[in-house]
Amino acid sequence: MSKPLKIFLIVLISLLGIGSLISWYAVSSINTGALTKFLSSTVKEATGRDLTILGPVSLTFFPSIGLKAEQVNLSNAQWASDPQMLSLKQVELDIKLLPLFAKRVEISSINAQGLVLHLQSNKAGQDNWDLSLPSIAPSGLTDSVNAKNSSSTNTLTSTTTANTATTDTPSGESNFVAISSIHSSDAQISYQGVGSSVQLITVPQILLEGSGSKTTVLLDLQYENYKLLLKGKTSALRQAIIDWDQAPVNMKLDFNLSLNGKALDINGQINKNPKKLPQFDLKMSSKSFDLIPLVAAAAVSASSNMKKPVTPKKSEAKYFFSDQPLPFDLIPKANGKVSFNIAELNVPDQAPFKNLQASLLFKDDILELSSMSFDLGKGQAQAQGVISQFNSASPLVSMKGMAKGFTLEQIIASTDSNAKVSGGNTQLAFNLSGKGKSLHQMAASSNGALQISINNATLDSKLLNKGGDFIITVLDAVNPMRKKTNNTILECAVAYLPLTNGMIPLKNSVGVETDRLDVALSGNVNLNTEVINIKIDPQDKSGITTGIDLGGLVQLVGTLQNPQVGVSKEGVVNSAVSIGLGFLTGGISIAAENAKSLTSKRQSCTAALHSWASIYPGSN
């Protein structure tokens, strides 16, 4: 071994020994009680909350600063139910030493055990996790607190140096906290909204482990009987946080999301250049994925938010199409693409979607659903849609699509196994556009057309009675005796609904034919006011009439939300004329009308049906 190398090793070993002695002396000379008081007073000054450390506190200073504490509690907001917002059985922090000299705080790792977190919101719109001070403290009080902190800091020796290094930053600059690794085990998170019961999420494990240019991610969540597991790797998360909007960021993602054992692969990349919108290209694929746990968990959450079951009154909702604002503000403003390729997607109350393929394109303030397609049973469906200007006061929404090859039987059987329905070949096409922030606003401004046809079905009366107030009112007006039969033989039903600025004119565009009746609807619907004025014209398919057109005497009035049966003045006049002529001619005119009906039967479905290609190009 050469002499210079020996000298270098001797110096290095000496420095390490001196460093170890200094660290031992620093640790042994620290007053942990004073440190606890300093931490508590700092948190109190910053948040107004009380930080208490009931267990032992220990420190290390080499090769990094380490802090370990047990039984750590953070007090809750004064209005909250639980006295503590946060409790930890044990927490360990590992802070890098060298970055402190550059006035940066880099936490190498956080290791927490037994986290209990109580989250709550109140009627005033306050959240207990908002740790900002309610008001600015008077200058005198601030000076006294600073003086107290200064006194405590003098007791902490080397801690003072670290604190000074991180707070004396030039004006306009901010300290940055970057965490390389996070590990949490045995955590519980509860949330209680206004007037709701407590919802509990168990988190057996959270892991963010930085290693070189990669970060390993593991997230294990359990809610009720539903389990979510996210695992995989991404580019260095800490470095991406540091560089975000400061330097170019290129993150690659490779995750696997599991819901109750059904897996979804998430792959792709995210690019972010300074002062520009992020760009991304993500692909989500699965052989079989299940949305039922997510929907069921949301349903459980929603039901727990109800104090007690309440039967809503019809008058409580002003419109059939809700005027509540839609969450357009949740749509991110970005540039990118999310592609879906799922062989089987299970959804609630529906047969599974097969071969689902879709692409979501983000273009600044435009969100486009491009070329979505799926199979359902023996049927196929396609759809496209665009939402633009979603940050404005009146977002623009357009959508078009078609579905064919379905049967009413397979659709109803998947939603209500007790309903007896057979057959019912169904086809649908739509091409609609509108603007507004709620369904009502969009319906009131809608343009385009929608058409649906159903052929050859046997319908259970129980199913028809579940159609809602509007459907039941129409059915009762057409055939008041329908409740005395268990089944309805539907030969065909066609509804062609053209829309112009929220107005739907009905002129021989809705027709229904059963084994006994041929029904045509005429009139109009105003989707702005939701006022309806629909005349019903049923004809007995036997062609026999008594001169009194009972259906022609009835029309639907009111609104979509509260439909009512009225009397058609035109129908009354026509029936009166027919009866009068029957008396004057000794029944000859009625017999002639019956003979005419037998030779020229109306076909309402054929008259109502329009070209499918005129609504959705390429369909037939």
Q: For the chain, give every domain's residue range.
A: 24-125+141-166+175-195, 391-608
**Other C-beta atoms within 10 Å of 535: how many?**
19
Cis previous bond, 312, omega within 30: no
* Total length of the chain: 620
Over residues 366-394, the mean pLDDT reads 89
Nearest CA to 526 among 561, 476, 565? 561
169 residue type, one letter: T
Query: pLDDT per residue over 220-240, tens digit each?
Result: 999 888 889 999 999 988 888
Residue-wise pLDDT for 494-506, tens only, equals: 999 999 999 999 9
What residues does 505 pair with on adjacent strands?
A: 524
Model pLDDT, residue 550: 46
Question: For position 243, what pLDDT does the model report?
Answer: 87
* pLDDT tens track for 439-492: 999 999 999 999 999 998 887 665 555 544 445 555 555 555 455 566 778 888
Instruction: Spell out the residues 6+ positions from residue 15 whose beta carbon is closer than 8 angstroms to its own.
Output: none
pLDDT, average across residues 519-547 = 78
Of the pLDDT bands very low, low, confident and very high (cuts 50, 70, 90), residue 140 is very low
Q: How confident is the model at residue 424, as a pLDDT?
A: 82
* Higher pLDDT pick, 43 / 265: 265
Question: How confident is the model at residue 270, as a pLDDT?
Answer: 93
Identify the burial level of 595 via C-beta atoms within 10 angstroms of its C-beta, where 0-12 means exposed, 13-18 middle and 19 or more buried. exposed
- DSSP state letter for 121: B
**In the prediction, which pLDDT does 570 show?**
54
Question: Average pLDDT of 196-201?
Answer: 86
Q: Tell if the pTM clears 0.75, that is, is over it.
A: no
Q: Letter for the amino acid at 183?
A: H
Strand partners, 234: 215, 253
Closest CA to 401 of 425, 384, 379: 384
Phi, psi (5° rounding) for residue 257? -105, 125
pLDDT, residue 255, reads: 95
Q: Which two tokens stand for residue 164?
A: 């000074």
Q: Is the pLDDT score of 170 beyond 50? A: no
430: confidence class by pLDDT, cuts 50, 70, 90:
very high
Residue 116, both tokens: 């209990």
Contact 39, 25 (CB under 8 A): no
> Tokens for 205?
């494990």
The tokens of 84 are what? 């503590």
More confident residue, 580 or 243: 243
What does the block give as tokens for 98?
A: 């060298």
Residue 395: cis peptide before it, omega within 30 degrees of 0: no
What is the spatial distance between Cα 303 and Cα 308, in angstroms, rounded to a whole number? 9
Classify residue 561 by its DSSP letter: S
Average pLDDT on 211-224 reads 90
